[in-house]
Amino acid sequence: MRALRAEVDLNAIRHNYRLAKAQSPQSKAVAVVKANAYGHGAVRVAQALAAEADAFGVACIEEALELRQAGISQPIWLLEGIFAADELALVEQHQLSMAVHCPEQLSWILAYDFSQPVDMWLKLDSGMHRLGFDPHSYRQAFQALQASGKARVLGKMTHFARADELDHDYTRKQIERFMQVCEGLPGPVSLANSPGTLGWPAAHGDWLRPGLMLYGISPFEVAHPRADQLKPAMRLVSELIAVRELGVGEPVGYGGRFVTDKPMRIGVVALGYGDGYPRQAKDGTPVLVNGCLTRLVGRVSMDMLTVDLTDLNEAKVGDEVVLWGEQLRTNQVAPYCDTIPYELVTKLTRRVPVHYSE
Ligand SMILES: Cc1ncc(COP(=O)(O)O)c(C=O)c1O
């Protein structure tokens, strides 16, 4: 068996959820566990948070039903609402909370005969221009839902496009637009994703929606006093399965992308793009061997990748290799792979067994 595994610390996730709530003690917080809890395992994460999370957030009804089937009884938000009218029966049956972001969804809801009302979050497009009613039609949609009596809670929500950029004023503009359009409309509000929670107090509102930060990953590219209190929840670990000595001028791996410029020791690690490690990882991408920082060299293959052991004389077959974790953050790795930490953790494949600790 390969030594490859993702170790997930559920205690760290609880710590990070509490850190989110501590930013705004009067607010509730939806723990966003879509996309299999960003690769950490939706059911296990939801179970770990079940005693304290105010609600969970998912992208679609399939993800919500997985949680209900696992016994999760908290409110579950469908962050994109329903994709077809026939999902409303399931929404009602499982008492799911749904975003309502477009006229089609609104008309399906208005036409549906609910036997009991459900919670709805009417979404405003405050500037992301992806989902949401535009400012001119928002109040009318709100009033239609209100008059229908089909919403138990009728909340107002929006989503930020650039909240991770703390020195950019687009988020302030989105907040202003949201407040302006929603002025005087009753009910709770929800604006803040992880960067909104950590970096934009004016966006806290009644319900936070932290996702990335729950997994201990900073949404910011730069150091940040509150984000720095996050505890990384995942450690991606494998081991050396071969070590070889090469002379000068020897190519390593497919395509010979990396060529030795001196006599080198090269280690082969059991992990590749078939496990979700990005093939785009460049020469120089940081990795830890026995806790020592070194670098990836050569192209990532499907099941293996190669690392520089030249300065790690002691390193041998069976030694531990950490691709990310407490000592090497996904934020440090992602730029070498032309991606963001969100994608690194979410893309791990089912070949990577997840080992949980409490
Ligand atoms: C509507 C909505 N709210 C909250 C989140 C959580 O965002 P983040 O992971 O940046 O905290 C997402 C994720 O994309 C989302 O789509």
Residue 70: predicted pLDDT? 98
37 CA → ligand 1 middle, Å: 11
Percent residues over pLDDT 90 in the chain: 100
Residue 251 DSSP SS3: strand
Residue 135: predicted pLDDT? 98
Q: Is 130 marked as binding a ligand?
A: yes
Kindly report, residue by residue over 55-81, the tens digit of the pLDDT.
Answer: 999 999 999 999 999 999 999 999 999
Mean pLDDT of 161-167: 98
Residue 163 CA: which ligand 1 atom is closest? 10
Q: Which of 209, 331, 345 to mutate to test the pocket of ligand 1 (most atoms within 8 A of CB)?
A: 209
**Residue in the block written with tokens 């309502």:** 100
Residue 89: pLDDT band with limits 50, 70, 90? very high
DSSP line for 6-63: EEEEHHHHHHHHHHHHHTSTTSEEEEE-HHHHHHT-HHHHHHHHTTT-SEEEESSHHH
In 279-336, where does DSSP find H-type helix?
330-333
pTM: 0.97
Q: Which of 131, 193, 214 to mutate to test the pocket of ligand 1 (most atoms within 8 A of CB)?
A: 193
Contact 54, 28 (CB under 8 A): yes
Tell me whether residue 254 is one of the annotated catalytic residues: yes
Residue 207: pLDDT band with limits 50, 70, 90? very high
Residue 332: pLDDT band with limits 50, 70, 90? very high
Residue 111: predicted pLDDT? 98
Q: Say if residue 1 is exposed, middle or buried (CB neighbours under 10 Å; 0-12, 13-18, 19+).
A: exposed
**Residue in the block written with tokens 């460049």:** 282
Whole-Å CA distances, 211 to 80, 136, 165, 195, 327: 15, 30, 17, 10, 22
Residue 284: predicted pLDDT? 98
196 CA → ligand 1 middle, Å: 10
Taking the C-alpha atoms of residue 51 and residue 31, their distance in angstroms, rounded to an integer, is: 12
In 211-289, where does DSSP find H-type helix?
none
Mean pLDDT of 77-95: 98
Residue 63: predicted pLDDT? 98
Angle, helices 135-148 vs 170-182, to 10°: value is 40
Residues with CB under 6 A from ligand 1: 32, 79, 159, 193-194, 209-213, 219
Residue 223: predicted pLDDT? 94
Taking the C-alpha atoms of residue 155 and residue 99, their distance in angstroms, rounded to an integer, is: 9
Contact 46, 67 (CB under 8 A): yes
Residue 125: predicted pLDDT? 98
**Residue in the block written with tokens 């059991």:** 270
271 CA → ligand 1 middle, Å: 29
In the chain, where does DSSP find H-type helix?
10-22, 34-39, 42-49, 61-69, 88-93, 103-111, 135-148, 170-182, 194-199, 330-333, 341-346
Residue 7: predicted pLDDT? 98
Segment (H or E) for 304: strand 304-308
Kindly report, residue by residue over 30-64, the tens digit of the pLDDT.
Answer: 999 999 999 999 999 999 999 999 999 999 999 99
Q: Report which protein residue has its CA nearest ligand 1's atom 5.
A: 193
Taking the C-alpha atoms of residue 113 and residue 131, their distance in angstroms, rounded to an integer, is: 25
Residue 210 CA: which ligand 1 atom is closest? 11
Residue 241: predicted pLDDT? 98
Residue 316: predicted pLDDT? 98
212 CA → ligand 1 middle, Å: 8
Which is catalytic among the residues 21, 34, 123, 150?
34
Residue 18: predicted pLDDT? 98
- 90 residue type, one letter: L
Give residues with Cβ within 8 angstroms of 170, minimum separation 6. Answer: 127, 161, 162
Question: What integer best gives the mean pLDDT of the chain?
Answer: 98
Residue 352: predicted pLDDT? 98
Residue 164: predicted pLDDT? 98
Residue 67: predicted pLDDT? 98
Specify whether the backbone of 276 is left (phi greater than 0), alpha (psi in -120 to 50) or beta.
left
Taking the C-alpha atoms of residue 59 and residue 11, their distance in angstroms, rounded to an integer, is: 24
Q: For residue 80, which of 64, 94, 62, 101 has the smallest C-alpha distance?
A: 101
Q: Report DSSP state, residue 146.
A: H
Residue 83: pLDDT band with limits 50, 70, 90? very high
**How many of the other CB atoms lie within 10 Å of CB of 328?**
19
Residue 320: predicted pLDDT? 98
Residue 98: pLDDT band with limits 50, 70, 90? very high
